[in-house]
Amino acid sequence: MCRVRRAVVATALQSRINPASIHSVSYGRASNAALAQGPSPLHSVAMAQKRLTRQDWTDAGLQALADTGPSALRAEALARDMGTTKGSFYWHFRDLPDYLAVLIAEWEMRAAEEIGAVLESDESLATRLCAFALGGTEPVDMAMRGWARTDKNAARATSTIDKLRMDALHALLADVGITNPDLARALRAAGIGMGALAAQDKADNLQPMATLVDLVLALR
């Protein structure tokens, strides 16, 4: 499994958009899943009271993408929401295309890190299969998938992460002798479909997926 994990991480790193434009240190970054919680009521006020960083703008952009979609990714609108001016935006980014490329690369990196974390975890096989099948269904992930229909960079990043999750599902199933690729694809398709249903509580998807995983594992 370590070999699989290293391959996953290596593939993700090689596929980043313009790595030089991303923070070399990203402590404090929110995960893609954490974005589902949305900003706190005092978030904009707090941001206005401090000097905004490149990472602040990146986090705000991903939150806006999750909340509203790619139409919200405009310097003026983001600056207004963050209680600042466009000058701060252009201090950190050359232009809007540069900013959008950084957002996509950041999302891709976070998704790859989440995949690596599941592969490294000590959770049961069934739990990890559920995590990969249901992974990438948070609001920001679904928004990125929608954006991919009209943006080639978002499409490339989404395709890369989809492949990483599929490879992980294939590897976990193969470890227990289940090599039919259609089964991994069925799990992933079911997970994406459940995410698209937009259940009020995402925990509602766990039991149906656990049941499906148990059925697949019964084929051993």
Instruction: Give the DSSP per-residue string, 142-210.
Output: HHHHHHTTT-HHHHHHHHHHHHHHHHHHHHHHHHTT---HHHHHHHHHHHHHHHHT--SSGGGGHHHHH
Instruction: Identify residue 191 by its one-letter amino acid code.
Output: G
138 vs 10 pLDDT, higher one: 138
User: Does the structure show a pLDDT above 70 at 219?
Assistant: yes
Map out the domains of the chain as residue ranges.
123-217
pLDDT of 193-207, one tens digit each?
888 875 556 678 889
13 vs 175 pLDDT, higher one: 175
- What's the CA gap between 86 and 73, in Å, rounded? 13
The pLDDT, as a whole number, for residue 32 is 67
Which stretch of 17-21, 167-171, 175-179 has the lowest confidence by average pLDDT?
A: 17-21
User: Does the structure show a pLDDT above 70 at 159?
Assistant: yes
pLDDT of 1-59, one tens digit each?
444 444 544 454 444 433 333 333 232 356 666 666 565 544 544 454 578 999 999 99
The pLDDT, as a whole number, for residue 200 is 56
- What's the CA gap between 148 and 154, in Å, rounded? 5
pLDDT of 32-43, one tens digit each?
666 665 655 445
Predicted TM-score of the model (pTM): 0.77
The pLDDT, as a whole number, for residue 220 is 87
